[in-house]
C-alpha cells in the first residue's frame, strides 16, 4: 500500500482499519456471505463458487482469518470455516455508533 504510517494513528483506528480492510474486497465479501449462507464451509466449496484459483481463495481465507473475521477448524481432510461472531458484532457496533452520531447532529451542517 505504500508507506503506511501505522504508528502515527491510534490503536483504535488501526484496529478498525484492519477489520474493515479484511472485508473490503469483493472476493472476500463473497466468501464471507457464502460461509454465512452454507454455514459449514470448506475451501474447495468456495473454489467452485468463485471465478478464482484455489491458491487465491486460500490467500483470501488467510487474510480473513488473520483479521479475526473468520475462524477455521480442521475437520478430517478438510477445514471448516465459520464467521467470527465477535468481529461482526464489533463492526456492527462501530456503524451503530456512527449512525447515532449523525442522527444526533442532524441539521447542524451541510
Partner DNA sequence: TATCTATATTGCAATATTACAATTATAAAA
Partner DNA sequence: TTTTATAATTGTAATATTGCAATATAGATA
CB 17 within 8 A of CB 6: no
User: Does residue 39 interact with DNA by CB under 7 A?
Assistant: no
Chain centre to alpha carbon of residue 53? 20
CB 68 within 8 A of CB 87: yes
What is the smallest separation between the CB atom of 91 and a second copy, expressed in angstroms? Answer: 5
Helix (H) or strand (E) holding 83: strand 78-83
Residue with cell 482499519: 17
Which of DNA, a second copy, none is residue 102 near (CB under 5 to 8 Å by kind)? a second copy
User: Does residue 88 interact with DNA by CB under 7 A?
Assistant: no
Residues lying near a second copy in the complex (CB under 8 A) are found at: 5-6, 8-10, 13-14, 16-17, 20-21, 23-30, 32-33, 36-37, 39-41, 50-52, 71, 73, 80, 82-83, 85, 88-89, 91-92, 95-96, 98-99, 101-102, 105, 108-110
Amino acid at each position: 500500500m505504500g508507506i503506511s504510517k501505522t504508528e502515527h494513528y491510534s490503536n483504535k483506528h488501526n484496529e478498525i482499519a484492519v477489520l474493515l480492510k479484511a472485508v473490503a474486497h469483493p472476493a472476500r465479501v463473497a466468501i464471507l456471505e457464502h460461509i454465512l449462507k452454507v454455514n459449514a464451509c470448506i475451501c474447495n466449496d468456495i473454489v467452485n463458487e468463485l471465478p478464482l484459483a484455489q491458491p487465491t481463495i486460500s490467500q483470501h481465507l488467510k487474510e480473513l482469518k488473520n483479521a479475526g473475521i473468520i475462524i477455521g477448524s480442521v475437520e478430517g481432510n478438510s477445514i471448516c470455516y465459520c464467521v467470527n461472531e465477535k468481529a461482526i458484532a464489533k463492526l456492527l457496533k462501530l456503524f451503530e455508533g456512527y449512525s447515532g452520531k449523525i442522527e444526533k447532529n442532524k441539521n447542524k451542517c451541510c
